[in-house]
Amino acid sequence: MGIKSEISHTLWITWKDLMELRRSKMRMAMMVLMPLIMMAMMSFMFPSSNSVSNIPVAIVNADSGSAGSEIIYAIEQMNSESKMMILKNASSEEEARNMIVEGSTLGAIIIPEDFSQVLSTRSSTADITVMTDNSNPQISQILSQVLTQIINSMSEEYAVMGLEPMAREIGINPVAMVVPFKAESKGVTESSSYVEFVIPGLLMMTMITSVMTGLPRAIAYEKDIGTMNGFLAAPISRFSIIGGKALGRIIRGFIQGILSLVLAIVLFRINVYGSLLSIFAILFLGVFSFVGLGIVMTSIAEDEETASMIIMTLTLPMMFLSGIFFPIEMMPSFMQTISRWLPFTYAVDAMRRIMVFGATLGNVYTDVVVMLAFGIATLIIAIPVFERGMTR
């Protein structure tokens, strides 16, 4: 049995599986729909402009002087452009607090009674309180960050204004007196949002789940209904059976992966920095690394349902542990250890580096080596396990 006929047998089995898919309108539709639904869901969860808007915020101006009103005017001016907040008036700190408790606002800016006075005498630093609804951590964090930043920079401006005459006398820049140095943070690429962090992993996930859930159908189902006997009784190598089945699934997964990629680019306008060829290579490698494992699981299981269940239980935690949704560094250390043992982690990592940083295959060679090694090792185990599973 030459290698040539083995390849031909493999391709014929793949052809059969793809033919069955093509002939079933429902299955074709589902194959296209799956990535579509997934990406649409993502776009609801992570809108492409990663800013928030229309947060109700109460303003309490207890200041007897004019400085308070000036600050509020400045905030209103700023907000009229960004529409981040809906500003409401409140008479006292007490009332603002009640509004937050009731839920009618999510935050408050409180300017105290003696604000103008302290400011003009400069007897100490005048305080403005920013109060937020900390039962809503995400919004609370954004709001307090943004408001403190606005108020602090206004304070800096105020300081610079006060120092200006003096600074001119000694001939230095007043800004440098107030802010002698500051940090400027800068990413490797221009911008990056959470979506850009998540999409590469999701692409990988779409493909791998497609292959992993598809394999039990492709193998265990045929075993259940007895058609597998046709392949097993034919003079073909067992590898051709496995290879043919896997290739069919990889092609299906690939179509879904590419569809998801296109949708991601259209829906989220994400920037893809890496070459398309590297992306495809990683998609392929990622799936390849899993095929052996999928076949082992499927062969061990007694029927299709058991196989699906084993594979689902295995892949689901893998998705979370592999850092698709949040960085591995945020996990407890023992989970980080588990994560490092999962091939999926490397697939996601490679995909992210290529898509977001424009890395080349050479840059991610560790990931490539790990995926290849895992894929080959599991496939080597898979062949005898498959043989045993089919002839018990």
Partner 1 sequence: MHSNCLDCDNMTEIIEVKDIVKVYRNGVKAVKGISFSVSKGEIFGLLGPNGAGKSTLLKMLSTLLRPTSGTATIDGLDIVKDAGEIRKRIGLVAEKMILYDYLTPYENLKLFGKLYSIEEKALDERIDDLLKTVEMDKWKNERVKNFSTGMRQRINLIRGLINYPEVLFLDEPTLGLDPHSSVEIRRLVAKLNREMGITVILTTHYMEEVDALANRIAIINNGEIAALDTSENLKRMISEEKVLEVKITNSAKAIESIRELDCVRDVSSRDGELRIYGQGENFVDSVIDRIKSSDSRIISIKEIEPSLEDVFIKLTFGGE
Q: Footprint of partner 1 on this chain (CB under 8 A)?
A: 1, 5, 8-9, 12-13, 15-16, 19-20, 23-24, 225-227, 229-236, 390-392
- C-beta closer to partner 1: residue 10 or 132: 10
Cβ closest to partner 1, residue 69 vs residue 227: 227
Query: In terms of CB distance, is 13 or 71 closer to partner 1?
Result: 13
Q: Which residue lies nearer to partner 1 by CB, 11 or 52?
A: 11
The values of phi and psi at residue 358, to 5°, are 70, 30
**Cα Rg, the chain, nearest whole Å:** 30
- Rounded to whole angstroms, the Cα distance separating 92 from 287 reads 61
For the bound state, the minimum distance from the C-beta of residue 288 to partner 1, rounded and expressed in Å, comes to: 24
HSE toward the beta carbon, residue 85, CA cutoff 13 A: 27
> Position of tokens 């009618």?
104
The enclosing H or E element of 256 equals: helix 238-268
Shortest CA distance to 368 belongs to which of 288, 252, 271? 288
Write the DSSP symbol of residue 219.
I
Q: How far is the CB of 390 from partner 1 (least distance, A)?
A: 8
Query: 12 or 365: whose CB is closer to partner 1?
Result: 12
**Burial class of residue 22 in the structure, from the number of CB atoms within 10 Å of its CB (0-12 exposed, 13-18 middle, 19+ buried):** exposed
Residues in contact with 234: Cβ distance below 8 Å, sequence separation at least 6, in sequence order: none
Task: Give the shortest CB-302-to-partner 1 separation in angstroms.
Answer: 10
Residue 145 CB, nearest approach to partner 1 (Å): 57
d(CA 366, CA 91): 62
Q: How far is the CB of 252 from partner 1 (least distance, A)?
A: 15
> Under DSSP, is residue 128 helix (H, G, I), strand (E, B) or coil?
coil
Q: How far apart are CA 134 and CA 261, in angstroms?
A: 37
Q: Minimum distance between the CB of residue 228 and partner 1, rounded to whole angstroms?
A: 9
* Closer residue to partner 1 (CB): 20 or 156: 20
> CB-wise, 104 or 229, nearer to partner 1?
229
Angle between helix axes 365-390 and 343-357 (nearest 10 degrees) is 140
Helix (H, G, I), strand (E, B) or coil at 94: helix
